[in-house]
Structure formats: structure tokens, C-alpha cells
Structure 1
């Protein structure tokens, strides 16, 4: 396992501790301790995953996440002491793929990193270049296009769309979506799935002025491109 993980954490001791645990698990990592240099570093080095502290000197994690999402779909795990659900949903709305609250066990962080990367690999194994009507999916690049228009999706949004589009017409409950997209099921609620679907629908509508993901009352969601 040679994935390069970027750790953005103002506490040098905590960053070193997490880095040591990641190294034991076979990951290479790089640490940044202020917010100003993060975006430029990500542009240059293209990490496999980012552990991003929410409260940083210079530039906060939510602002950094928002800017990264304008050019990259790299998986982002937010790390923060804010435990309120509103803060959690805000991070996910901006494109974070998971959320870890302080204080935490370094082993938990390693487990989250593995889970996010494993999710990506498992969904990639469903096939490359899958198509459903005008929708085209490229799991190698986490790219989705509608009528050749590229959708600016987060990794989680891509996984959600790919899962629904793989079985058009099938209704997935929120629990099934959580189980398939978030295998560990931690810090994930029905509202989180609803938030992702809302963002996904908006991006699809802006690209093609159509509704491809439909709500089924009291049941869940389904993909239908008819």
C-alpha cells in the first residue's frame, strides 16, 4: 500500500502521531500545519487522500475544502472538535467524504482512511466506462458525464450516482445506501444521504435540466433516466 496521505493539522504532535500510525499501516504521509499552503500543495502533489483539520491558522478547513473541490475530487476526511450535526453536514455539503471528531483514537483515523479508499476500490471494480442512457461513468477517474457534460462531483457523490445508476429503477433505502457507501456506518445519518442526494440532483439539473434521481416516498431513492 503506497497511497500518499496529506495530513493538515495545526498540532504538530497530533499530526506526527497520526503520521506514525499511518506509516505502520503502510501509508506514506506529508504534514502541513497552516491553511495557506494546502491548496497549492494539493495542486502540485495530487495526494491520494486528505485528512483536513477544520480549525487552522490562516485559512479554515471548510474554505480549503471548498477551493479544492473546484479542481480535484480527492477524498477528504474532515477532522474537528465540532460535533454538532449542522457542522458535520456543512462539511459534507462542501464535498468532504467523511468526518472524524476529536478526541479520537489514531487507530480510528487509520480505519477511516482504509474504509474511504476501500470504498473507492470496490466501486471501481463494478466496471469501467459504464453507461446508462446519456450518463457515462468513468470509475478510474471518478468522472460522470451527462450528454458529454462533466459533472463536478465529490467522490461520495460519484459513488452514490454510480450505485443508483447500476440498477435503474431499483429503489434503495437510505439504510442500504449508507451500508454500501459507508461500510462502517459511523457518523452517517439519513440526513447525510439526503444532503448528498440534494447536491447531486442540483448538479445534474444544472448540467442537463433533467431529474435522474427520484425520491420514493417512505422508501428511498432510485435512478430513472427515462
Structure 2
């Protein structure tokens, strides 16, 4: 399991830790200032660093709830920075980079990032993705017997009183449809989902395969839950992307190339951790051109 620093552990258990802290790790001064402004206007107390080593120290010192990480930085790159930060905290990690190749997305998500945004990006896209992450439970699969606390709410003012424009130093409000969290009906005691030796406990956010616990990221867990809970119905990539963004039902906008790639990477990682072959699936079938569904 991922090691968690004492302050992060206290936060996960509901201790008196300031939730509204963010760290921006970005070597480009203009982008660093823009990210800091977006998060500050959202109600976060923001600390910034120009390289990975300094960013890791800021995370160690301030224990933020959100961290943005640039991939191309002097010294240790963003991937190694993310690995070190993930060993310290369960904070939400957003990789922000000009590298949009599939392999870069794959590596970024494998290092523990919760989302991966390609430059150039719009401030409203960053805001919407952070809002969606913060509506999802922060605790990853754990052997702790008690269920994790509900997801923290965005800071006061996040998405309020901001401009509709998305210029270099202006912030747009988040989409209205992003107001509902996925699985908002979750409560302790929700029946587990069981399929072919795979057991998923929604309340405790624990996945077991043939009695052995499988460690999944938040996104992988949520995708697996949606697929197992949908029976034999096909779940589209658009629905999965919308679910990860915090939308309910079928999203009302198109599936971007980045969203589609991210879903494919998450599913590939999920299959790898479960030891499943795409050609002979035990749990997840691919429906070409549409999405995925649970095996019979």
C-alpha cells in the first residue's frame, strides 16, 4: 500500500488539517502564475515551486489536497516528482504537460496521477477536472476496516464570482452539469459487487481478487465499479469520462481525444492489475467503437 505522511493520515481520518491548500510545480513562470491564480481564485492557499525537488519539499511541509505537476522540468522530471509525492500523500495529482503522446499519458497515470492535462489548456478545463476529483473519495483501496470519509468539497468560492472569459489571466465558471458527484448515493453497507472471483466493496473502496486485495487508483476503482454495476449493459467511453468528471448520466458534450485516451489507459492499467488479457477477458469486454461491458 502507499505510504502516507502523518498529516495526510490525520486528514483521511477527519483530523483538524486545513483542506484548502494547493501546490503548483511548474518551471514556466507564466504558466506557474496562471495556475496559482486559477487555484487562488478558487479559494486555495497556493504554494509554488519551479522544480520537482522544491515541489516535493513544499508538499512535505504543507500537505496540500491538490498538486499540479509539470512533466518537463530541470532536475527530476514530473514523473519522478509524482512518484515521490505519491509516497508522501493521497493528495489529488494533476499532470500538466505539452507531451500528449499515449505513452506519456500512460506513464503519468501509472506514477499515481489522478488526471493528465495537455497544454495548451483552458482554465475552465482545469477547474472542472479539479472539481470532479474533489467530489470523489480521496481514500484509495485500503485494508482499514472502517469506510473512508466522503469526498472533500471544493473551497468556498470555487466556481463563484469569476469571469466567463478564459484569457491568460481570467477564470471561467465550471459547467453547470458538473454539480452532481458520481455515486453520491454511496453509504456504508452498500452491497458488494461480485463477479467471477472479483469482489468490490463500494463503501470501503476495496477490491479483492480470489481473496487477495488489489490496489487500484481512484479512477480505476470508479471505472470498475461502474462496469460491474451496469450488468451486461455497454458503458460508453463518453459515460466513463463523464463519470470521472463528476457528471450524472450521459454527458451532454463530445468525447475529446484526450478523454478517450485517458479512459483507454485507465482500463489497460485496470486489466494489467487484475491479470486479465483483452483477447480473453475474464471481467471486462471491449465493445469496439463504443466502450466496455462486464463479461457474462
Aligning the two structures, in what range does the TM-score lie when normalised by the shorter sequence? 0.7 to 0.9
Which residue pairs with 1:173 in the alignment? 236
1:122-152 Cα shifts (integer Å, max 9, x gaps): 2352414541125233567x54344553322
Structure 2 CA distance for aligned equivalents of residues 17 and 145 of structure 1 = 42
| 1:26 partner SS | coil
1:125 aligns with 2:181: no
1:213 aligns with 2:277: no
1:139-194 Cα shifts (integer Å, max 9, x gaps): 67x54344553322222112211222222333212232223224575553434322
| Root mean square deviation, CA, Å | 3.4
1:150 aligns with 2:150: no
Q: Which runs of 5+ in 1 are unaligned?
A: none
Q: Do the aligned partners of 1:2 and 1:28 also contact (CA within 8 Å) in 2?
A: no
Judged with a 3 Å threshold, the aligned counterparts in structure 2 of structure 1 residues 189 and 123 are, in CA distance, closer, same or farther, namely closer
Judged with a 3 Å threshold, the aligned counterparts in structure 2 of structure 1 residues 126 and 100 are, in CA distance, closer, same or farther, namely same
Structure 1 CA distance for aligned equivalents of residues 25 and 265 of structure 2 = 25
User: Could you tell me the TM-score, scaled by structure 1's length?
Assistant: 0.76
Structure 2 CA distance for aligned equivalents of residues 143 and 44 of structure 1 = 30
Alignment of 1:1-226 (within 5 A): 2-39=19-56, 41-42=58-59, 45-69=62-86, 73-118=90-135, 121=151, 122-129=181-188, 130=190, 131-133=192-194, 134-138=198-202, 143-146=206-209, 149-182=212-245, 185-205=255-275, 211-216=282-287, 219-224=290-295
Q: Which runs of 5+ in 2 are unaligned?
A: 1-17, 138-150, 152-180, 248-252
Structure 2 CA distance for aligned equivalents of residues 135 and 52 of structure 1 = 34
Judged with a 3 Å threshold, the aligned counterparts in structure 2 of structure 1 residues 16 and 152 are, in CA distance, closer, same or farther, namely same
Structure 2 CA distance for aligned equivalents of residues 115 and 53 of structure 1 = 20
